[in-house]
Amino acid sequence: MSYELPTLPYDYSALEPYISKGTLEFHHDKHHAAYVNKFNDAVKGTDLDSKPIEEVIKATANEPSKSGVFNNAAQAWNHTFYWNSMKPQGGGTPTGELAKKINADFGSFDQFTDAFKKAGATQFGSGWAWLVLEGNTLKVVKTPNAENPIPASQVPLLTMDVWEHAYYLDYQNKRPDYMNAFLENVVNWDFAAQNLAAA
């Protein structure tokens, strides 16, 4: 059972000018596709081949001998989740239960955005910033490289990729500018709200 590279949930140019067509083509068609292909090659013919990718991530997260499988599985999953964490004409503020939960657990939406941007800015090198549900509490966490919250039994609601290939063509070394654009213009609060409702 191979994991398929999903098509983007919007056109390559739909997030411009905040994330360019060139960035999405390069990021999705090259980077994401490579993770998917390497993951499928790694599990082909093994006992992991028939498992859902989330189960593979959990099974290999703390197995040094299977780090290659984990890295490619997690990156294949992370990127699919990241595409859905954005949408054209996104940004703004969440509404409904998600807004109430953010205010309750962070104190305010502004305090959440400060924490989220700090997580992205202080992730040394490559990695991810996440909004997660842990137990009944929303938290912001960051993970290095391919790691994600699934093995920690946290429910991912939203993610922002802070690997350089996510923003370098558009923002060069200005990661804070990319993070601001992500939160103000493309973040998909509907997706995060759906994940919270399903948790």
Q: Are 80 and 57 in contact (CB under 8 A)?
A: no
Quick: pLDDT tens for 122-149.
Answer: 999 999 999 999 999 999 999 999 999 9
CATH number for 71: 1.10.287.990
**Mean local confidence (pLDDT), 41-51:** 94
Residue 138 is assigned to a structural domain of this protein: yes
* Judgement on whether residues 46 and 124 belong to the same structural domain of the protein: no
- 141: tokens are 């966490």
One domain for residues 134 and 194: yes
- Across 98-103, average pLDDT: 98
pLDDT at residue 197 is higher than 80: yes
Which pTM was predicted?
A: 0.96
Question: 78 near 165, Cβ under 8 Å?
Answer: no
In this prediction, what percent of the chain has a pLDDT beyond 90?
A: 98
Residue 48 structural domain: 21-84
CATH code for the domain in which residue 148 is found? 3.55.40.20
Q: Are strands 155-161 and 137-144 parallel, antiparallel or unpaired?
A: unpaired
DSSP 30: I
Range 77-96 average pLDDT? 98
192 pLDDT more than 90: yes
Tell me the pLDDT band of 1, cut-offs 50, 70 and 90.
Answer: low
Domains: count for the chain: 2
- Asked if 4 contacts 36 with a C-beta cutoff of 8 angstroms, the reply is yes
**Residue at which a domain ends, from 64, 84, 104:** 84
| Same structural domain, 120 and 157 | yes
DSSP string over 184-198 = IIIB-HHHHHHHHHH
Same domain, 124 and 70: no
Q: Please check whether residues 102 and 75 belong to one and the same domain.
A: no
* Mean pLDDT for all residues in the chain: 97
Kindly state whether residue 12 falls inside one of the protein's structural domains. Answer: no
Overall average pLDDT of the 42-48 stretch: 94
Residue 111 has φ and ψ, to the nearest 5°, of: -70, -35
Residues 54 and 27 in one domain: yes
Shared domain for 115 and 155, answered yes or no, is yes
CA distance 80 to 35: 11
In a shared domain, residues 52 and 114: no
pLDDT for residue 2: 81
